[in-house]
Amino acid sequence: MLEIKDLIVSTDNKKILNHFNLTIQEGEIHVLMGPNGAGKSTVCKSIMHHPSYKIEEGKILYQTEDITNCSTSEIARKGIYYIQQSPIEIEGITNLEMLRSALIERKENLDTFAFHKQCKEICEKLNIPTSFVSREVNVGMSGGEKKKNELLGMWILSPKFLLLDEIDSGLDVDAIRIVGENLKEYQQKTNASMLVITHQQSLIDQLEPTYVHRMQDGKIIESGTKSLAKKIEKYGFLQDTLANDVSESEQNE
């Protein structure tokens, strides 16, 4: 579904991604881990063609189509949904207006009653007040509320691919559980693919990723199952320790 080939990306004349490669098939969940500065967020921004990040070499393919040079809006229309670590606030536009406009632009037949009913049901699922649909997009919301608000958009717009950049950031234990439950339920219902940047073990346990990858110096240096995430949680990102410490239980997996 998504294939990144030998991507070299820079920003402010500094190379961030260095021959980065990754393939995510339909229905797969991939977790990306790594120390600060490894380039994790840059992967998401490059996929979405953020103007501050220059793709110097390589390609990004989505459903076999080359989207390397597509605009951010074109990429979003193709079904890629990006939740940033710090979602932006949009004053003067309510959630209801934004979501309705997005659905109309996709030329979907919009049943107003059914749409409002769906929004209400999703708010209940996310444990947020139904009044959220009438609030300006992310304005005046806490970090946790913003993440849940973005998930409201996910449920309504039904993307096939999710980019989640530290969605657990700013969330308490209960909120992480609710977010994890919603993401897992959504993935099971839609068979969506996900690229998740997180170091939160409880969220990884909930999502049950297909693969976990460890990044360093702008590229993936190790891939495995969620047992890799547990090793990282135990030892950090010390490469030699991680490489040498393989427990008996992991050998038998």
Q: What is the DSSP letter of 78?
A: T
pLDDT score for 55: 95
pLDDT above 60 (res 252): no
What angle in degrees, to the nearest 10, is found between the helix axes of 95-105 and 143-157? Answer: 30
If one compares 132 and 53, the residue with the highest pLDDT of the two is 53
pLDDT above 90 (res 100): no
pLDDT score for 214: 94
The whole-angstrom separation of Cα 144 and Cα 125 is: 15
pLDDT above 80 (res 154): yes
The phi, psi pair for 9, rounded to 5°, reads -130, 140
Quick one: how far is CA 61 from the chain centroid?
17
pLDDT above 80 (res 78): yes
Report residue 233's pLDDT band, with 50, 70 and 90 as the boundaries. Answer: confident
Report residue 110's pLDDT band, with 50, 70 and 90 as the boundaries. Answer: confident
| Beta strands, E only, the chain | 2-11, 14-24, 29-33, 54-62, 65-66, 80-83, 90-94, 136-137, 161-165, 193-197, 211-216, 219-224
pLDDT score for 249: 42
- Where exactly are the structural domains of the chain? 2-87+159-251
The whole-angstrom separation of Cα 108 and Cα 60 is: 28
What the block records as the tokens of 61 is: 């393919």
Do 68 and 59 meet the contact criterion of CB atoms below 8 Å apart? Answer: yes
CATH number of 2-87+159-251: 3.40.50.300
* DSSP per residue, 142-161: -HHHHHHHHHHHHHHH--SE
pLDDT above 90 (res 112): no
Do 55 and 43 meet the contact criterion of CB atoms below 8 Å apart? Answer: no
pTM for the whole structure = 0.88
**Residue of 107, 196, 104, 119 lying closest to 153 (CA atoms):** 119
pLDDT above 50 (res 222): yes
Site of tokens 């490489």: 243
pLDDT above 90 covers a percentage of the chain that reads 61
What the block records as the tokens of 59 is: 């390609």
